[in-house]
Amino acid sequence: MTITFSKAKEEFQVRCYLWAKSEWEREINESFPDLHSFKAGPAWETLQYMRQLSRREQLLVAGGLLKRFHPEAVKTLGETCSPDEVTFRGRRDDIFRLREEYRGLCELESSGQLEAAPLVWQMLRGRAVKLLGEMDFPVGDPLKKQRDAMLRSELETLFRAIPSTCKDEIAARKKAGEKVRFVSKLKLQKTVMAKFERVFGPQCVNSSYDDICDPHSSFDIRGPGGWLISTHFWFGRGASLINYGHGIFSETEVEQHGQKGPYTGSLVLGSMLSLCSWLGICSQTEWEYLETPEEIDRACDAALEQCRHFFAVAPKLLAGLEFEKIASG
């Protein structure tokens, strides 16, 4: 029985979405083991937000994130995002950005820039009201100052419950005179490549790397049904980091039709697949601010564990979608 490539891709998207649902449930039930591997970025922020919520609310956040990040699968399944999922996802989106901007307001006030500070507060107030789930008060309210003070007090209480970010801690260390040095991109690249080849080397059919202009490394593993799973690592443009993602493409190239006419190339079943993307947190999965050998090893091991996890589930995601069954169209 043959299947068109468009239908195969649709089926693959639905399977990835349903698998991601089970991954979020596992993550919540096991107290977020994967999110704990990050010390900064959207994954770390999501963990800090989730820790303040009940299990029911955590599942609402997860559902909202998944449905936003897997729109085609959601459409195919006829699902919709509930108001509660939208609300809790929105709070997750806003809380850290607003905290950073509110901190800027406090710095204006502490430095004596008292003309600019009220204008900044007016810009932030509506979003603060939305974040806290309160009703805004009308223009000209005689109790405006008191209400503003109460609103700011609630904001500060909310923000105090969240640990300092890694960026904040590093800034404080630098201010105290410490020279903070992060590991180089080449050191990260060598460590990742050595570990990946040690664990997955026998399965690799191709590998490549660039350690000069823009350090990155790629490894291709032959998956089931005529598909290759390509794993790409990137180590940052400015500051060093570990970024990874998978792509799934056909080992056989076929004639296709693009915007500029016919061309020959591999069929791409999936791309930019990684922990943060399938969970709907963000498009990129990155481990940042790596300093010590222990931190480097933990980040590398976490990245490889996610690779191992995806390689193990790939046969189920690809079952019945073998390349030889794909018909043109």
Residues 236-249 have pLDDT tens digits of 988 899 999 999 99
**Which of residues 141 and 259 earns the better pLDDT score?**
259
Assess if residue 77 is contained within a domain. Answer: no
Task: Give the lowest-confidence range in 85-99, 153-167, 186-200.
Answer: 153-167
Return the pLDDT at 221.
96
pLDDT at 296: 95
264-291 average pLDDT score:
96
pLDDT of residue 140: 64
C-alpha–C-alpha distance, residues 240 and 183, integer Å: 7
Interatomic CA distance for residues 239 and 288, integer angstroms: 8
Query: Residue 110: inside a domain, yes or no?
Result: no
Would you say residue 302 lies in a domain?
Answer: yes
pLDDT in tens, 82-112: 999 999 999 999 999 999 999 999 999 898 8
The 10 Å Cβ neighbour count of residue 283 is 12
* Domain-located, residue 305: yes
How far, in Å, CA of 265 to CA of 251, rounded? 10
Give residue 320's pLDDT: 94
Q: Are 239 and 248 in contact (CB under 8 A)?
A: no
Task: Tell me which of 326 and 11 has the higher pLDDT.
Answer: 11
Residue 149, domain member (yes or no): no
Burial (0-12, 13-18, 19+ Cβ within 10 Å), 161: exposed
Residue 173 has pLDDT above 80, yes or no: yes
Is 90 exceeded by the pLDDT of residue 195?
A: yes
Mean pLDDT of the chain: 92
State yes or no: pLDDT of 284 exceeds 50. Answer: yes
Closest CA to 272 of 301, 308, 248, 288: 248
Residue 299 belongs to a domain: yes
Q: How far is CA 75 from CA 86, 137, 299, in A?
A: 16, 39, 35
The pLDDT confidence band at residue 141, using thresholds 50, 70 and 90, is low
pLDDT over 50 (residue 116): yes
Helices 55-69, 83-110: axis angle to 10 degrees equals: 100
In a domain, 93, yes or no: no
Considering only the C-alpha atoms of the chain, give the largest distance between any 2 of them, rounded to a whole number of Å: 74
What is the residue range of 194's domain?
3-52+181-327
**Model confidence, pTM:** 0.90
Specify burial of residue 277 (Cβ count, 10 A radius: 0-12, 13-18, 19+).
buried
pLDDT for position 329: 47
Please give the tally of structural domains in the chain.
1
pLDDT tens per residue, range 306-324: 999 999 999 999 999 999 9
Tell me how far apart the alpha carbons of residues 322 and 226 are, in angstroms, rounded to a whole number. Answer: 6
In a domain, 90, yes or no: no
pLDDT tens digits, one per residue of 198-219: 999 999 999 999 988 889 999 9
Percent of the chain topping pLDDT 70: 97
